[in-house]
A and B are shown apart, each in its own frame.
Chain A
């Protein structure tokens, strides 16, 4: 970055930041100083989270994907409900028992619970990619606290404002009813039959990177945005919030806090973010929690490999959307293949999210390969590998030019009695040339996604 600033010469114009001697003006000294500390790559990633060029998908193609996502989420919920109750799928040997029961995401505290409609993961963010064969593949299912839906809504707002003429000439499915769909779904979970159940969005607070989204959704649903300290659980297992009118009973909690921090009585004792006793109230059937504690058991890259089998097992249907071929390092045969072909594969830890801790074989060095082989041999259960997909690209605007960048797609699936999929979803785009990592926590950007009729 430093180099760039030294060669920056605005010429004879008045530059707002840099004076005629190439030095920052007093008003921008601090700004320029801090900018200089950011590396070129980092800068490119941060540059702009939103790219103006929309990403269109034909409505006809979307119909199949949408049906496939609903099918997949239904099967996943059957699986979670089964695991915490009868465990038929384990008994029948379709999914190996030890990989499920030894997973850190399997919460034994949830055994025997039967939530409404048998649904555990009410909000699911499924990551899709399109390979060079033109087909969509599911990369992973996010069943814990998937985020990004507010960007989907905001991106549409921006596009309508800056490209109104182009927008008008297309027949694009609207996305803006998401908050009301979410509200209706959450309300249907209420243990009390009321016209307007008390719904809260539970946030870890202002310093969480998704706080904006939590506030946005609470506002969109007319729900209370609460922190853990705003709630308490009474002796008789009822959740209340502390209001100026006294305590008010809570019916549904849309939580944006991970299981581990949700309830210090049940999970991490040192959590200051959670609500002591909230799991107790949930078990007693006095409050609904979305997504239900323990849902993450199906959000595991080893379990992922078995989702097509789950669809066949629970629904007696063939999967409508493909899985990516996945090698499980816990199986001797797979592990040997992965180690022999590591330079061609993407290796992922089973339980990380946000694109952390993975190895992209073709882009990694020999020593990184060796390091991952060591990790795999040490903890085979903890690693899976997939062929490196040729992620599709779309143009983005950069430096006055149009250049291709890799992208994926995260639609959001809501499920209670019925299921619903966002028309489109959040298209995430890698802003760094050639990069395959689109995660917003690692500087990915996003685009408006159009389902065009």
Chain B
């Protein structure tokens, strides 16, 4: 049975929102740890987080001052902010609720529980005292849901679109978090370099990437090497390269995927020509901007190929395709 475009669209967004909520939780945790680690009096503010989410304007419209409380409130509980944790989880749940009939029952239950947990705990988890526990729970519950998807969703279109959403969102998050370094730490003087390495240690651990990094690269955490690792590692499953090659693979199982495949090939080429060692801070930032634009373009192509339906599309026989 072919999958309805509407259902595929919702599954894709279910995954994107779930991965986004876990990614945001990881990032907020890493950033908080990082702030705790740096010496007092250093010029490092919470506005860095706003830059990462491209939401300085939206923040300024609602809040007077950039304080830890305001920024975390904005990013954790504020439903007016479409990048907030609570918003992502709510949106994921809405999408699962309307696609329950194509998913194993447990997935709805777990996503609903994640939602209920976030609704109950979010507002009291802005203060540092409860923040870590809360963010950790969000990540763990997401891992549980991911495990269920891997172990119970049939390998048909439902799985395909869940996976597509997952890797696109991963790619988006990886490029965003790397930008934290560029966005917050500034040009590379002595102090900045030591700050930077502190940041990367926290970031790697938040991505559960510490040991993978040490095995592949070595014990020294240094920014160009971390960036190269997170962009180009062929073995670490959260690297940009890995995400893009997974997407390449998924596209092969779908009809009308030529346009999307071309877009991904182009992105792989861009990635291939990149080397963090050769980049100034400004160049790195520009590169990430370019890559994010490419991710948005890819999303547009996916949208057009499978979700926004034109009545001239080819006739399907209704027979199941090989995946």
Residues of chain A having any CB pair with chain B under 8 Å: 198, 206, 215, 218-219, 222, 224-227, 229-230, 232, 234, 240-249
Interface membership of B151, Cβ < 8 A: no
Q: In the complex, what residues of B have CB within 8 A of residue A206's CB?
A: 97-98
**Contact call B1/A215, Cβ cutoff below 8 A:** no
Provide the residues of chain B in CB contact with A215, threshold 8 Å: 100-101
Q: When A215-B100, A215-B101, A218-B101 are in contact, do A246 and B8 touch as well, CB less than 8 Å?
A: no
Residues of B contacting A226 in the complex (Cβ-Cβ under 8 angstroms) = 4
B161 surroundings in chain A (CB, below 8 A): 244
Q: How far is the CB of B318 from chain A (nearest CB, A)?
A: 5
Cβ of B286 within 8 Å of any chain A Cβ, yes or no, is no
14 further A-B contacts with Cβ under 8 Å, apart from A242-B6, A244-B254, are A198-B318, A206-B97, A206-B98, A215-B100, A227-B6, A230-B4, A230-B6, A244-B2, A244-B157, A244-B306, A245-B255, A245-B316, A247-B309, A247-B314
Q: List 9 A-B contacts (CB under 8 A).
A: A219-B101, A224-B1, A242-B5, A242-B6, A242-B313, A243-B4, A244-B3, A246-B314, A246-B316
CB nearest neighbor in A for B160: A244
Evaluate contact between B1 and A230: CB separation under 8 angstroms. no
A229 to B5, CA, bound (A): 10
B interface residue count range (under 10 / 10 to 19 / 20 to 34 / 35 or more)? 20 to 34
Indicate if the CB atoms of A229 and B6 lie closer than 8 Å: yes
Q: Contact: A247 with B4, CB < 8 Å?
A: no
State the CA gap A215–B97 with chains docked (Å): 11
Closest 9 CB pairs of A and B: A243-B2, A242-B309, A245-B316, A246-B314, A246-B316, A246-B313, A242-B5, A245-B2, A215-B101
- Name the distance in Å between B67's Cβ and chain A's nearest Cβ: 26
Min CB–CB distance A319 → chain B (angstroms): 40
CA distance A243 to B311 in the complex (A): 11
Question: Is A249 a contact partner of B3 (Cβ separation < 8 A)?
Answer: no
Residues of B within 8 A of A247 (CB): 309, 311, 313-316
Q: Chain B residue with minimal CB distance to A233?
A: B311
The CA of A240 and the CA of B316, in the complex, are separated in Å by: 10
Contacts of B306 in A (CB 8 A): 244
Is the CB of B290 closer than 8 A to any CB of chain A? no
Closest beta carbon of chain A to B119's beta carbon, Å: 11
**Chain A residues in 8 Å Cβ range of B315:** 240, 246-249
Q: Which of A225, A229, A248 contacts B318 (CB 8 A)?
A: A248
Please give, as numbers and ranges, the residues of chain B lying within 8 Å of A198 by CB-CB distance. 318
Q: A242-B5, A248-B2 are in contact. Are A232 and B311 (CB under 8 A)?
A: yes
List, in ascending order, chain B residues with CB within 8 A of A249's CB: 315, 318
What's the Cα separation between A246 and B318 when bound, in Å?
9
Q: Is A222 within 8 A of B5, CB to CB?
A: no
Knowing A215-B101, A249-B315, say if A244 contacts B6 (CB, 8 Å).
no
Q: Which residue of A lies closest to B94 (CB)?
A: A206
User: CB of B113 within 8 A of chain A?
Assistant: no
How long is the Cα–Cα vector from A222 to B157 in the complex, in angstroms?
15
Which one of A218, A229, A232, A243 contacts B316 once the chains associate, using CB atoms below 8 Å? A243
A222 / chain B contacts, CB cutoff of 8 Å? 1
Report the minimal beta-carbon distance from B313 to chain A, rounded to whole angstroms. Answer: 4
Q: Does B265 contact A (CB under 8 A)?
A: no
Shortest distance in angstroms between B23's beta carbon and chain A's nearest beta carbon?
A: 26
* Those of B94-121 within 8 Å (CB) of chain A: 97-98, 100-101
CA distance A130 to B100 in the complex (A): 39
Cross-chain contact B5 with A244 (CB below 8 angstroms)? yes
Q: Complex: how many Å from CA A246 to CA B315?
A: 6
Q: Across the interface, which residues of A come within 8 angstroms of B309, CB to CB?
A: 242, 247
Q: Are A241 and B4 in contact (CB under 8 A)?
A: yes
List residues of chain A with CB within 8 A of the CB of B296. none
Query: Quick one: closest A residue to B4, CB to CB?
Result: A230
Please tell me if B279 contacts chain A, counting CB pairs below 8 Å.
no
Chain A residues, CB < 8 A from B100: 215
Whether a CB of chain A sits under 8 angstroms from the CB of B256 is yes
Among B1, B254, B314, B317, the most chain A Cβ lie within 10 Å of the Cβ of B1
Output the nearest chain A residue to B97 by Cβ-Cβ distance: A206
A234 to B1, CA, bound (A): 21
Name the B residues within 8 Å of A225 (CB-CB).
Answer: 101
Q: In whole angstroms, how far apart are the Cα atoms of A203 and B140 in the complex?
A: 36
Give complex CA distance A226, B161 in Å. Answer: 18
A232 to B256, CA, bound (A): 20
Contacts of A229 in B (CB 8 A): 6
Docked CA distance A249–B2 (Å): 11
- Collect the chain B residues with CB atoms within 8 Å of residue A234's CB: 311
Docked pose: A215 CA to B157 CA in angstroms: 19
| Closest beta carbon of chain A to B171's beta carbon, Å | 21
Asked if B321 is at the interface (CB within 8 A of a chain A CB), the reply is: yes
User: In the docked arrangement, what's the CA distance between A241 and B315, Å?
Assistant: 10
Interface code B127-170, partner A: CB below 8 Å = 1, 0 otherwise? 00000000000000000000000000000010001000000000
Chain A residues with Cβ below 8 Å from B318 are: 198, 248-249
Contact of A244 among B8, B101, B311, B317 (CB under 8 A): B8
- CA of A206 to CA of B108 in the docked complex: distance in angstroms? 15
- A-side contacts of B3, CB under 8 Å: 243-245
Given A232-B311, A248-B316, A249-B315, residue A243 in contact with residue B97 (CB < 8 A): no
